[in-house]
A and B are shown apart, each in its own frame.
Chain A
Amino acid sequence: MSDQGTYIKRPNRPLQIYAMVFLFVLYLPILFIPMFSFNDSIYVRFPLQGFTFQWYGELWNRQPVWNALWNSVKVGAVVAVISTILGVVAARAITRYRMPGKSALVTFIMMPLVIPGIIFGVALLVLMSRMGVPLSLYTVTLGHLIVCLPFAVATLLPRFEGFDPSMEEASADLGENGWWTFWRVTFPMVMPGVVASLLLTFTISFDEFIMAFFLTGTDPTLPMYIWGQLRFPQEFPSVLALSSLILFVSFILVFVAQWIGRLGLDKDT
Chain B
Amino acid sequence: MADTSLSQTEARSAPAAPPRVGRIAGILHRNETLRGYLLMSPTMLIMTIGILVPFLILLVMSFWTREGFGFDTTLTAHNYTRVWNEPIFGALLQRSFWISGVATVVTVALCYPMAYYVAFHVHRNKMMWIILMTLPFWTSYLLRVFAWKVILGYQGVINSGLMSVGVIEAPLEFLLYSQTAVIITLAHAWAAFAILPLYVSLEKIDKSLLEAATDLGDGPMARFFRITLPLSMPGIIAATFLIFIPTTGDYITPALLGGPDGAMIGNFIQLQFGAINNWPMGATLSIVLMLWISAIALVFLFVTRKAQERIA
**Do A and B touch, yes or no (CB under 8 Å, in the complex)?**
yes
Interface 0/1 of A110-144, CB less than 8 Å to B: 01111111111011111100100000000000110
Contact of B14 among A26, A167, A226, A261 (CB under 8 A): A167
Contact of B43 among A22, A32, A47, A89 (CB under 8 A): A89
A3 adjacent to chain B (CB < 8 Å): yes
Q: Is the CB of B208 within 8 A of A90?
A: no
Chain A residues closer than 8 Å to B157, beta-carbon distance: 28, 32, 46
Chain A residues closer than 8 Å to B43, beta-carbon distance: 86-87, 89-90, 109, 149, 153
B251 adjacent to chain A (CB < 8 Å): yes
Per the CB 8 Å criterion, the residue count for chain B at the interface is: 100
Q: Is the CB of A114 within 8 A of B50?
A: no
Q: Is the CB of A115 within 8 A of B293?
A: yes
Contact of B36 among A26, A93, A111, A118 (CB under 8 A): A93
Q: Is the CB of A210 within 8 A of B252?
A: yes
User: How many whole Å from A96's CB to the nearest CB in chain B?
Assistant: 7
Q: Is the CB of A122 within 8 A of B188?
A: no
Most buried by A among B43, B127, B242, B273: B43
Q: Is the CB of B286 within 8 A of A122?
A: yes
Q: Is the CB of B143 within 8 A of A243?
A: yes
Chain A residues closer than 8 Å to B8, beta-carbon distance: 189
Cα(A114)–Cα(B104), bound, Å: 14
Cα(A112)–Cα(B249), bound, Å: 13
User: B157-188: which residues lie under 8 A (CB-CB) from chain A?
Assistant: 157, 160, 188
Interface of B is mostly: helix
Q: Is the CB of A32 within 8 A of B150?
A: yes
A97 adjacent to chain B (CB < 8 Å): yes
Cα(A145)–Cα(B46), bound, Å: 8
Q: Is the CB of B40 within 8 A of A89?
A: yes
Per the CB 8 Å criterion, the residue count for chain A at the interface is: 98
Interface 0/1 of A19-30, CB less than 8 Å to B: 100110111111
Cα(A120)–Cα(B58), bound, Å: 10
User: How many whole Å from B187's CB to the nearest CB in chain A?
Assistant: 10
A165 adjacent to chain B (CB < 8 Å): yes
Chain A residues closer than 8 Å to B191, beta-carbon distance: 26
User: How many whole Å from A129's CB to the nearest CB in chain B?
Assistant: 8
Interface 0/1 of B1-41, CB less than 8 Å to A: 00110011011001101001100010001001101111110
Cα(A26)–Cα(B108), bound, Å: 14
User: How many whole Å from A32's CB to the nearest CB in chain B?
Assistant: 5
Q: Is the CB of B10 within 8 A of A167?
A: yes
Q: Is the CB of B289 within 8 A of A126?
A: no
Given contacts A97-B39, A250-B139, contact A118 B286 (CB under 8 A): yes
Chain B residues closer than 8 Å to A124, beta-carbon distance: 50, 54
Q: Is the CB of B36 within 8 A of A18?
A: no
Chain A residues closer than 8 Å to B29, beta-carbon distance: 98
User: B133-160: which residues lie under 8 A (CB-CB) from chain A?
Assistant: 133, 135-144, 146-148, 150-151, 153, 155-157, 160
Chain A residues closer than 8 Å to B297, beta-carbon distance: 114
Q: Is the CB of A15 within 8 A of B208?
A: no
User: Which residues from chain A sit less than 8 Å from chain B, CB to CB?
Assistant: 3-4, 7-9, 11-12, 15-16, 18-19, 22-23, 25-30, 32-33, 36, 44-47, 86-87, 89-90, 92-94, 96-100, 102, 105, 108-109, 111-120, 122-127, 130, 142-143, 145-146, 149, 153, 162-167, 169-170, 184-185, 188-189, 203, 207, 209-210, 213-214, 222-223, 226-227, 230, 239-240, 243, 246-247, 250-251, 254, 258, 261
